[in-house]
Amino acid sequence: AQLSCLARLLSAKNLTADFGRFPPDLLLFFDPSEVPPGTCREFYARASLGNLDLLPRGSSRRTGLLRGARTCLGVRSSRLEPRQLGSLGALVCDMEPGIIPASHPGILQNLKLCPALTEAQRDALNALILTGGTEYGDPSSWDLQTLQDLGPLVLALNRTTLSLVAKAAREDFSRSIAASYGSLGRSQQEKSRILLRAFAAAAASSHPRLKRSTDRCPLEPINATTIAESGFLLLTYSAEEFNLCLSNDVLMENLEALLNLPLTVQHFEVMKEKVDQVYPSGIPEEQLKRLGLLAHRYSEEEISRWSVTSSDTLAALLDPSKEGWCDSQVQQLLSRYLSLGGTLTGPLLRDIGGDRLCNLREEQMEQIPAQAIGTAGQLNISACSQTKKKQLYRKAQEAFAGLASTPSAYYCGLRPYLGGAPAEDLKYLANAGVAIDMDMDTFLSLNPEELQKLSVVDVKNLLGKNLPKLKKAENEPLVMGWVQRQSQRELDRVLGIGLQGGLEEPTGTTTLAPPTTTASVTSTATSPVPTTLPTVPT
């Protein structure tokens, strides 16, 4: 919406001709009819570098962009030539599938820019590759480097194409994907799993399978060597085969290595079942530390029986690099740890995170030692209830009490927890004689009830050099509520940043008393304005 608005504004100001100054994403929202014919090729070449997903597929703006590009580039047939491809970029992603095999093979470079291909486009892509006429040659000649050069197009290869790739090349590529799997983000891991499953399926077609049996492994038994050298091939095992071919002893001896492989949910369920078979009376605490991602497969009821007494065990289970816990599971895990006498430390609080910390019950929150808050770093407790914010603030106050004589350092320690601070403490920070320069995010996190008790001078002193940002936040409910309770005269006189909406003094009925050390205002009319205005400290 912002890009569209900006594009209309530039058009109204006749500033669209110099499109080279603007980012490609913005050009997607330009009106193609306003592009000068003499520069349209350069325009579409630049616009095609933008993120097409900003425009819904099939929308009039997106189809109009492609239509304008085809007209500009003289596309009158199903074949696209290299010069046309160079200007079309990602716009090729919206063209009909028949364009792919009919065009110059360089169209593969354009297709690499597509966020996703339709099934028909994938079929057309494979048909083009199978001709052997692209820069990558026949699939039977591919090696590891070729597969890596294909980039995102590898995701579109079907089983027929992959089956022609040499086994050694497929295995080398799968190993390279599996080796980097653990360091990838969640979305990239999902793409890696798709790739590995596709390569595993191609490999499975050449795997001789024994006659199906209910009590013996129909493939090669899984051992330490298989896991270390060809672990990606385990994706070719069905859950049943994985269960039959992986012994409990091999699992426990190689648990960490198996958990680092991009296996499916079904494989993880098999491993969980086997761990439970090894420890029918409950998983020992030392083994809990090894569960990693497998721990996420356990229910809250199962977690409630775990022996979690050590902070090391809890830290291992909550390892931030092992994402996948549900909040309810973490809540149960923390409850179990605390019920067994565990203590929450600063590092543990960091691993738990502010959001999950807010899920603790109030009585559990009281069990957090003040010193743990002092070493927990910057926790985001915005999701906590006001009662819990007050609890955490009191603990932070105790943790940083030694810094109270140095207001700036004291403020830095308290800052994440000021949402639970009472007005008198905020006034202390405001009038400590040292610049606090409270940032706007912290200001907007303050308890609304307590903020209403702060004077205009208090707020000015709290914000310091950040005071001008209060004007930008004037439509925030917290700010609006505070402004409406202040004298407009004071807002103008003390802040001078143009805040409006304060209480206006009645006109024509106000009598000023003789000057004294405290300026006073009296009125014959009933007014919400205090009869005594606060003295502004020098």
pLDDT, tens digit, 9 for 90 and up, residues 151-189: 989 989 998 998 899 988 988 888 888 777 666 666 777
Confidence of residue 400 (pLDDT cuts 50, 70, 90): very high
Q: Is residue 278 part of a domain?
A: no
8 A C-beta contact, residue 505 and residue 498: no
When divided into structural domains, the chain yields a total of 2
Q: Is residue 106 part of a domain?
A: yes
Boundary-marking domain end, from 135, 156, 186: 135
Whether the per-residue pLDDT at 142 is higher than 60: the answer is: yes
- What residues contact 475, with CB distance under 8 A and at least 6 apart? none
Q: Is 380 left (phi over 0), alpha (psi -120 to 50) or beta?
A: beta
Burial 6-25 (b: 16+ CB within 10 A, else e): ebeebeeeeebeebeebebe
Q: For CA atoms 127, 130, 131, 136, give the dihedral sign.
A: positive
C-beta neighbour count of 492 within 10 angstroms = 15
511-to-127, 225, 493, 506, 532 alpha-carbon distances in Å: 91, 94, 19, 11, 13
Boundary-marking domain end, from 135, 169, 203: 135
pLDDT 10s digits, 242-271: 999 999 999 999 999 999 888 888 999 999
Q: Is residue 194 part of a domain?
A: no
Whether the per-residue pLDDT at 209 is higher than 60: the answer is: no
Q: Is residue 293 part of a domain?
A: no
Helices 423-430 and 407-414, axial angle in degrees (round to 10): 140
Longest alpha-carbon distance in the chain: 107
Boundary-marking domain end, from 135, 167, 185: 135
Helices 186-204 and 167-180, axial angle in degrees (round to 10): 160
8 A C-beta contact, residue 230 and residue 194: no
Q: Which two tokens stand for residue 392?
A: 């955490």
- What residues contact 395, with CB distance under 8 A and at least 6 apart? 368, 369, 370, 373, 417
Distance from C-alpha of 104 to C-alpha of 75, rounded to nearest angstrom: 13
Q: Is residue 313 part of a domain?
A: no
41: containing domain: 1-135
Whether the per-residue pLDDT at 277 is higher than 50: the answer is: yes
8 A C-beta contact, residue 379 and residue 357: yes
Query: What is the pLDDT, as a whole number, of residue 203?
Result: 63
Whether the per-residue pLDDT at 4 is higher than 60: the answer is: yes
pLDDT 10s digits, 48-87: 888 888 888 888 888 888 888 988 888 888 899 999 998 8
Q: Is residue 42 part of a domain?
A: yes
Whether the per-residue pLDDT at 339 is higher than 60: the answer is: yes
The pLDDT mean for the chain works out to 86
pTM assigned to the model: 0.60
Q: Is residue 439 part of a domain?
A: yes
Confidence of residue 514 (pLDDT cuts 50, 70, 90): very low
